[in-house]
Structure 1
């Protein structure tokens, strides 16, 4: 059977990219699963004893892991939901022409240009009890709240930071999707006397569903991996109030429990996969219904 020369040429072009993908994505993932089935430490790195599912049994029966999973799910759901809402609002706002739109768009997009560690140090200075601007403003209005020391407030503060940093990402994707909607549809709807809400609900939102799906799935996956800003600001504290699975992965790794760390990493993947699949099915069913 003669192979199509064009197919062979295309295959040759993608082989380097495929090799890099397998080398830096699939191989580490398989290796991580292998490590999670062994009692890997710094002392037996080259010959770790096989323990089967013991590492998984330890993490699934650990109270610390339960708290970390709960914090992670609250963090991801709250942050991504608000980022989606604000991204939609900003996209709708910037689709209109108004004075200063260019300068304002630069200000809105600026947080995404900062590294997460930089964002962490910046908000650490803002939230610090002794000389932070935000606690000082709260004291002016009679509120004496230790933002970083209060277990009931600190996770909400971390969620706020994530919303501030990553709403621009949602805005970029949703705004691009909104710009791709033909103006003729809006003109026809306005001619028929449709209100702004009806135009948004029956034209903008259904046609924007693919962009919403892509942006939401990307943010869910990325939010599960959030580490730098939380570690810089609270280190997972006070107590375990802001301890996420990523924080536990780091703690297990730095304490030499690499097998446990690998098992926790697999847990992060499983949770992210399940949440993204449920989100994708929900958004897809909504788009079909509309």
Structure 2
């Protein structure tokens, strides 16, 4: 009886999950086979929406942009987060102050980060372009298709590296000190201790962080929409902004749902792959 009571407490969570995630996904999947433009008429079109998207060059540019953003942002965030965590874990004086400063960006919402970035990188009155002009360099961060994506990635790295940092730091501080002290007595250097003791002991945590950041960067919306809106042209258009534009800009709701079904299948596949890797590491 006691075991059954535990399952009853899961009912509210499962119900909420169903209505916020599973039901919209099923609803989108059904309507991806129709032609619905927000009106009452819904014509069944079979796989036409899928064929249209998979043969549309713009869709594949959006996919490329999304994975480009996610790959570079995730790589730099995880790398910098691990480096910062390893450094802060070793210092004793001032670590609390440094940790607090590093966590500040994480407390700011995506819309605020977008507004700040548009001001800082503005070509007319932005701080960064101003100082670049002082040394004779011209810049157009969000007005150039070549510079817009790298700048967006840089902003996201500044914003989300703290997430990786705090999780990895918590993992490092939970490592038992006995093997580290034994290694020091035997003459191991700090680099050897980090490489052969610290990093292997937080490998599962690193994989978890990579999974979180990969999925989060793949479904980025607020930062891109708030700063560039997907421009110039479609040079920074990602899946979420593309789907939003189809639904509310071009009123092609069925195509928007089809985009999200295709994208959700990719995210679910990635989650499954990460789970297999994690299971293999634990075994």
Equivalent residue for 2:113?
Answer: 119
Q: Distance in 2 between matches of 1:240 and 1:192?
A: 58
Equivalent residue for 2:92?
Answer: 98
Equivalent residue for 1:161?
Answer: 155
Structure 1 segment 1-290 matched on structure 2, within 5 A: 5-44=1-40, 47-254=41-248, 255-279=250-274, 281=276, 287=281
CA shift digits 1:197-247 (9 cap, x unpaired):
211111111111111111111111111111111111111111111111111
Q: Distance in 2 between matches of 1:68 and 1:233?
A: 17
Q: Residues 74 and 282 (structure 1 numbering): CA distance in 2 closer, same or farther, change over 3 Å?
A: farther
Q: Residues 138 and 225 (structure 1 numbering): CA distance in 2 closer, same or farther, change over 3 Å?
A: same
SS at match of 1:193: coil
Q: Give the C-alpha shift of residue 273 in structure 1.
A: 2.9
Q: Give the C-alpha shift of residue 51 in structure 1.
A: 1.4
Q: Distance in 2 between matches of 1:134 and 1:281?
A: 44
Is the 1:209–1:283 Cα contact (8 Å) retained in structure 2? no
Q: How many residues align?
A: 282
Is the 1:38–1:52 Cα contact (8 Å) retained in structure 2? yes
Q: Distance in 2 between matches of 1:280 and 1:142?
A: 50
Q: Distance in 2 between matches of 1:32 and 1:198?
A: 51
Q: Give the unaligned 5+ runs of structure 2.
A: none
Q: Distance in 2 between matches of 1:212 and 1:177?
A: 9
Q: Distance in 1 between matches of 2:108 and 2:75?
A: 22
Q: Give the C-alpha shift of residue 179 in structure 1.
A: 1.2
Q: Give the unaligned 5+ runs of structure 1.
A: none
Q: Give the C-alpha shift of residue 84 in structure 1.
A: 0.6
Q: Distance in 2 between matches of 1:154 and 1:280?
A: 34
Q: Distance in 2 between matches of 1:236 and 1:61?
A: 21
The 10-residue stretch of structure 1 (94-103 or 186-195) with the greater mean CA deviation from structure 2: 94-103
Q: Distance in 2 between matches of 1:278 and 1:158?
A: 27
Is the 1:217–1:280 Cα contact (8 Å) retained in structure 2? no
SS at match of 2:124: coil
RMSD: 1.7
Q: Residues 283 and 13 (structure 1 numbering): CA distance in 2 closer, same or farther, change over 3 Å?
A: closer
Q: Residues 261 and 66 (structure 1 numbering): CA distance in 2 closer, same or farther, change over 3 Å?
A: same
